[in-house]
Amino acid sequence: MKEYQKILGACELEDLAYQRILNWLYDQYGMSYPENKKNLLIQHISRVCKFFDMPSLAAIADRLELNGYKDLQDAIVHAATTNHTYFFREPLILNYFKEIILPMLPKEGVRIWSAATSFGDEAFTLAIIAAEARGFIWAKQNLEILGTDVSRVVIASAATGIYSETHVDKMPIELLERYFVYLGNGQFRVQDDLRHICKFHSFNLKSENYLFPKAFHVVFCRNVLYYFDRAHQRHVVDAIYKVTEPGGYLVTCVAMSVRDLDSRWIYIENGIYQKAY
């Protein structure tokens, strides 16, 4: 009986520690997780425990709350985000960008923000689509793409422009040959001129300070809003609205609607919204 009580007590402590980690993720980054994601998230956090040679979730929570362990914080944020991404993901949305949005954009000084860029697949995909539609010379001279993500781990990877086969295997082979250099061992690097179009920085969408030198013509915010509760979702889409040019676009994933968030975005179709002129 005593042994059972001991095990039960340890489980209760780990549950409490898990909740403390959830609270930290919410307070710092606005991330919320449903109960049905608990086991998956604990698995990911347990890998962080093993990597840092820490004995328990409680030890992780203690260090997070001290707010001085940047490597550990980065690892937890990385563990808490899915980062399942690849080039040319969600072709229906990308087709709309190519066929409808891109022709409406200015001839010069086009600025696009990939607001949850993960490993950079989306940012480089948009650069390739624009280069194919308007010409590579035009893209090099007139297109700027900013890729941001809350995880510094994936941003560091995006900046290298190096990808495994699983990231590029859905690309048309002619685009792969045109815009990538094969490094061997199943690794591909984005061609240098294309890399210069895309810049990558870490950014917390919960931040109150959406301070950018210039507004964007298009903002892609896909596969990230479901991490937030309604209050934070509203904050993010309103903040994006303020840093978007009049007539500019917000692109979300098809399954994520912002129509019920009382925002100023004008609904165009599923996953596509426009700022009033």
Cα distance between residue 75 and residue 187, in whole Å: 24
At 260 the pLDDT is 84
Domain contains 111: yes
Residues 187 and 210 in one domain: yes
* pLDDT range class, residue 6, cuts 50, 70, 90: very low
pLDDT reported for residue 4: 34
Residue at 118 is within a domain = yes
Residues 218, 270 share a domain? yes
pLDDT tens column, 245-270: 999 999 998 777 888 898 999 999 99
In Å, what is the CA distance from 117 to each residue of 23, 75, 91, 104, 128? 24, 17, 16, 23, 15
d(CA 163, CA 189): 6
Whether residue 171 is found in the same domain as residue 112: yes
Question: Could you tell me if 218 and 160 lie in one domain?
Answer: yes
Q: Is the dihedral of CA 215, 199, 85, 172 positive or negative?
A: positive
* pLDDT confidence tier of residue 11, bands split at 50, 70 and 90: low
Q: How many domains does the chain have?
A: 2
- Domain membership of residue 6 as a residue range: 2-80
Mean pLDDT (whole number) for 168-178:
95
- Which of 80, 108, 134 is the last residue before a domain boundary? 80
- Cα angle at 58 between 41 and 45, to 5 degrees? 25
Listed residue (248, 221, 218, 255) closest to 235, CA to CA: 221
Query: Are both 123 and 8 inside the same structural domain?
Result: no
Q: List the one residue out of 277, 242, 236 whose CA is nearest residue 256.
A: 236
* Domain presence at residue 85: no
Q: Are residues 75 and 102 in the same domain?
A: no
238 and 135 share one domain: yes
| pLDDT attached to residue 2 | 43
CATH number of the CATH domain containing 127: 3.40.50.150
Mean pLDDT for all residues in the chain: 91
DSSP state of 265: P
